Structure 1
Amino acid sequence: MAINRQSVEEIVEAIGGKENISTATHCVTRLRLVLHDESKVDTKALEDNELVKGSFSANGQFQVVIGQGTVDKVYKIFAEITEIESASKQDVKNAAASKQNFLQRGVKTLADIFIPILPAIVTAGLLLGINNILTGPDIFFSDPLVEVYPQWADLASIINLIANTAFVFLPGLIGWSAAKQFGGSPLLGIVLGLILVHPDLLNAWTYGQAEEIPTWNLFGLEIEKIGYQGQVLPVLVSAYILAKIETFLNKRIPDSIQMLIVAPVALLVTGFLAFTLIGPVTFWIANLLTDGLIGLFNFAPAIGGLVYGALYAPLVITGMHHTFLAVDLQLIGSTGSTFLWPMLALSNIAQGAAALAMILISRNEKTKGLAGTSAVSAFLGVTEPALFGVNLRFKFPFFAAIIGSAIAGLVITVSGVEAASIGVGGVPGFLSIFKEYWGAFFTGMAIVLVVPFVLTFLYGKVRKVSE
């Protein structure tokens, strides 16, 4: 696709000119900018630009949605026009962080840790869903498919092995990403995470059924040999301590002997602390939080489902939705399932349904095209194009989607719908849902397809949207 240079110049002008740009980079679909004064942005001019599919401000960054592939070409011309040096994504994040409060920085840190490992987790969840279809009873036949067709059994076994790996070694993935985020060595972070799930340790998932807990005896101190499979908090805190010890030693140990001292000391100290203090304390805190959340939803499931279903899309706008990825993973690690993630999947579909209705009521061809492509994207789990390109722009589709998502959240929470894993947060999300809850989940899916679509269509017709 050839890029019209004038259109890029108009983007620069719409964001307040090159003098208003502090730092700039891009990701797969968006220009990511830190601006001196966001009040100078002409949102209407941006929306009218043929290259722009939407724009929004989040976590100190002003982001312009361009589209996959096209954004690379646009950024190249953008950099030439503005004469701005190409910044790394970390440079932009650091510049944006200076404008954030403590809570925003905390949310950003969690997001930066979990976003890099999200593809592995989503892929694992999707494959686990496929395995569940192959091995679950009462889906195609009364017996599992692998029993009716035994030749499929080994294929299901391989799929299960590949899918389970990301969850079995989740602390290794988190350790890598967290150590990198906290300024330490990603490699040491991986090793730390794998230490916490070493085969010599009692598997955390069998802790409750164990007749005898193995222990170490260190100078009279008994330490339980327990692994932390599926746990989030222990490895997060341990990775932070590891990174700080490593940074401290790197500043004080001569370069010539760093390899012999820094990594061994950092891992030994952190590993000892992880098994004696960090692990037991954070494991207790994680279980306390999990039990509290479960108790809250058990006490008032209708209210919990209604509120979370309504709030998830607004959380996406603020970036705080990434915090709940850690909560979902902790729930899965502690209880083997999550009741929050199914509402996420339906919230995404709701935003897609609202965007889809805009095809019928908008008179602007660009809006129609954007509504169609962004709706498909939302149905497959990526809501940003629908949210920022269509629904928030017109406002009423966004609120229609929230209403549908809230009603569906109430229905599936009261029905006790749970997911075995995190998967694709859209229509394929049913693959991650336990088979016995498919009926209730599909009811919720029908609600988020129909309610937002109908409300958006009717309200849009009354208002006679012309854009």
Structure 2
Amino acid sequence: MDVKEIAEKLVPLLGGKGNIASAQHCATRLRLVIRDESKIDQKGLDEIEDVKGAFSNSGQFQIIFGTGLVNKIHAAFVKELGDDEAAAPADHQEEMKKKMNPFARFARMLSNIFVPIIPAIVASGLLMGLLGMMKAFHWVSEDSALFVLLDMFSGAAFIILPILIGFSAAKEFGSNPYLGAVIGGILTHPMLLNPWTLADAKPEYMDLFGLSIPLIGYQGTVVPILLAIYVMSKIEKGLRKIVPNSVDLLVTPFLTVIITGFVSLVFIGPFGRYIGDLISISLQSLYDVAGVFAGILFGGLYSTIVLTGLQHSFHAIEAGLLANPKIGVNFLLPIWACANVAQGGAGLAVYFKTKNAKTKKIAIPAAISSFLGITEPIIFGVNLRLRKPFIAAAIGGAAGGGYVVLMHVVANAYGLTGIPMMAIAAPLGMSNLIHYIIGMIISVGVAFGVTWFMKLKED
């Protein structure tokens, strides 16, 4: 089938043009917002040869086509709809949010804020690894210009993290992103003590109308800037309703920054730091006390959480772990990674066991995708449809999750799982990397073995 023919077939199977609110695509899937999903002909979609799976998740109906094909089908599909507005990203986000429950909307919001920051965090993590190797193997002196510069480069993303989050969060909250960056700059101003590099230093205090304000910065924090930007967005939107258009450009930014700045330093900052530390320390305590059992539980349940879309909210928690000077590592990501590759292990077993040509065709590329950290194709295209492989993958994820917790495997960034996560596990030592690889092998092997001995019902 050519892409035009596929697009022509899709429209009636999805309930007609009037039932399709918007259409976007990612690397592998056509993402649609459907007004009434009861009108979808699921069986008809499954019969299209190039469709590797179709499912509803996080307010969207998603059809898996695979890399290289999905973008061509999307272009033909939008043309078939005859509605350019259906392909507008902003409209798609709004339509999608209408279909989501409050928890899913919250998770999606956090995802939209933190996913764009992933490249900066990963780059810093790799730089920290390079710096650690240079120090461990005495490649250069710690006093050398090269070492000092790399040290500056590696810590920069975490020091200005509130500025990055401020910009991204303001865009998500419908506010001016540059004002968001300014608020992030206020919370990380050089006049404020930097707890990221001076953890044991004590801040000075100043008196403001009888209020004692600690001169301590929020470099590397997450919760304070999120709360501050949320408040800022409300202030800015409220001001735009009452400030005359003729002076809006001057008055609204001025009042937004000065009001948000005072509120953030006096109230939001200290409260947000307390909440952020409470979350991070609570997780650290659970990790220390429950140990292997926590890894088994989280590794076994993670793929089920993926079905709800709530896994996107974990980016904020992981960023908080990295930003906390007392923790400084991400001990959750290796567990998620084991759960992800376990889905691939179960999918590989399905490939060898199935007699269905279409399932066999989907299983190998989808399994490889899961080894690279993208699990939706194997979950929705293969394992969940057959049910038992999904359960086997959960068992594999639990086994691998328990192992990486037992061996204290950690990462120094967030966002990468599967094989790519080796890049952010290696900087923390060869032992850390080896145990991570062993954890993945355990996950894949257990999931493959359990699936192999299960009787699949392919009807």
TM value normalised by structure 1? 0.88
**Aligned AA for 1:329?**
A
CA distance in 2, matches of 1:174, 1:245: 18
CA contact (8 A) 2:370 2:418 kept: yes
Cα pair distance change 1:257/1:372, threshold 3 Å: same
5 Å-filtered alignment, 1:98-109, equals 98-109=98-109
5 Å-filtered alignment, 1:8-407, equals 8-87=7-86, 88-132=88-132, 134-135=133-134, 137=136, 144=137, 146=139, 161-206=152-197, 208-210=199-201, 212-334=202-324, 335-407=327-399
Structure 1, residues 115-137: CA drift from partner, whole Å, max 9, x if none?
Answer: 332343344434544554x3364
Q: Give secondary structure in 1 for the equivalent of 2:213.
A: strand
CA distance in 1, matches of 2:268, 2:256: 15
Correspondence for 2:435: 440
CA distance in 1, matches of 2:155, 2:367: 31
Cα pair distance change 1:429/1:156, threshold 3 Å: farther
CA contact (8 A) 1:351 1:387 kept: yes
**Aligned AA for 1:432?**
I
Structure 1, residues 154-202: CA drift from partner, whole Å, max 9, x if none?
Answer: 7776666544333222111111111111111011111211222222221
Correspondence for 1:141: none
CA distance in 2, matches of 1:317, 1:344: 14
Cα pair distance change 1:273/1:296, threshold 3 Å: same
Q: Give secondary structure in 2 for the equivalent of 1:205.
A: coil
Report the CA distance between 1:209 and its aligned residue: 0.7
**Aligned AA for 1:14?**
L
Report the CA distance between 1:405 and its aligned residue: 0.8
Q: Which runs of 5 or more residues in structure 2 are unaligned? A: none
CA distance in 1, matches of 2:149, 2:385: 46
**Aligned AA for 2:280?**
T
CA contact (8 A) 2:345 2:367 kept: yes
CA contact (8 A) 1:24 1:84 kept: no
CA distance in 2, matches of 1:350, 1:36: 34
CA contact (8 A) 1:7 1:50 kept: no
Q: Give secondary structure in 1 for the equivalent of 2:218.
A: coil
Structure 1, residues 377-410: CA drift from partner, whole Å, max 9, x if none?
Answer: 2222222222222222322222221111111111
CA contact (8 A) 2:57 2:307 kept: yes
TM value normalised by structure 2? 0.89
* Matched length: 452
Q: RMSD of the alignment, in Å?
A: 2.7
Cα pair distance change 1:453/1:145, threshold 3 Å: farther
CA distance in 1, matches of 2:337, 2:199: 31
**Aligned AA for 2:278?**
L
5 Å-filtered alignment, 1:410-425, equals 410-422=402-414, 424-425=416-417
Cα pair distance change 1:208/1:121, threshold 3 Å: closer
**Aligned AA for 2:109?**
T
Structure 1, residues 3-45: CA drift from partner, whole Å, max 9, x if none?
Answer: 3422222222332333432333334433222223223323333
**% identity of equivalent residues:** 40
Cα pair distance change 1:441/1:97, threshold 3 Å: same
CA distance in 2, matches of 1:364, 1:156: 57
